[in-house]
A = this chain, B = another copy of it.
Amino acid sequence: MQSRTPASRTGRPRSAAADTAILAATRQALVELGWSKLTLGDVATRAGVAKTTLYRRWAGKPELVCDAVAELFDELELPDLGSLAADIEGVVLQFAAILARPEAKSGLMAVVAESTRDDALRERIRASIVERQMRLVLEGRARAQRRGELPPEPDPQESARTVDLIFDMVAGAVVHRTLVSGKPADEEWVRGFTRVLLLGLASQPAEPGAQGAAPPGTPPRGDDTP
């Protein structure tokens, strides 16, 4: 979190219960008020602590909301459903479910917007949200490479670039779908998204009833002009 706790200090320790109460109160306030009408005084009242306690622990509203929202994404897990396509669909649906919650919508985007003028905040977001979920991409890719669904990437630099690209494409698409387009990232959408991500736009559209998953050893772009 935000606390500098140098292992052992003299004096009264900070209440850990207050931390969780404050972050929960922040999420509740995000749901009821949204980002713009959320005030630190209100959060303090909801959490049952003094306003000054908030200012002693967090530098301001963006940092507080960042921490409150970050906890939402810790429940993400990469399922093992047997194929890369199914795994992607599973984790993307989880991600979409979190983003559908009002506290995530309202808080996450506002913090990101704020971070465009605040490098420290951007780094905080990166460390507490992005970096922690990068494991999903890494694990998913490694698993798919073992299955032979993805080509190996020996060059570590190239490999890192690919992971970043995948993360931007997955997270970006779901966020854009949910927040900008304002439509739900439901199963149907996720299937179409996964198909394009794995096979590309040039591939045939999925036939009705067909599972959009890429079978192992799928040759790239198995069709020409039909």
Contacts and interface: CB of A to CB of B under 8 A. Distances in A.
Interface of A: 34-36, 102, 105-106, 108-110, 112-117, 122, 125-126, 130, 148-151, 153, 158, 161-162, 164-169, 171-177, 179-183, 189, 192-193, 196-205, 214-218, 220-221, 223-226
B151 A196 contact: no
A116 B130 contact: no
A198 B197 contact: no
Contacts of A223: 151
B216 A224 contact: yes
A204 B219 CA distance: 9
A223 B167 CA distance: 24
24 contacts: A35-B117, A106-B116, A109-B109, A150-B201, A151-B204, A151-B223, A153-B205, A166-B201, A167-B176, A167-B181, A168-B177, A168-B193, A172-B173, A172-B174, A172-B177, A175-B175, A196-B200, A197-B201, A199-B199, A200-B200, A202-B214, A202-B215, A202-B218, A203-B220
Q: How many copies does the complex hold?
A: 2
Contacts of A180: 112, 125-126, 130, 168, 171-172
Given A151-B205, A197-B200, A179 B112 contact: yes
Closest 8 CB pairs of A and B: A172-B176, A172-B172, A109-B113, A200-B200, A203-B220, A110-B113, A34-B117, A199-B200
A167 B181 CA distance: 9
A179 B168 CA distance: 10
Given A168-B176, A168-B180, 17 more contacts: A106-B116, A106-B117, A108-B113, A112-B113, A148-B225, A153-B205, A167-B181, A168-B173, A172-B180, A198-B201, A198-B202, A199-B199, A199-B221, A200-B200, A202-B214, A216-B224, A217-B225
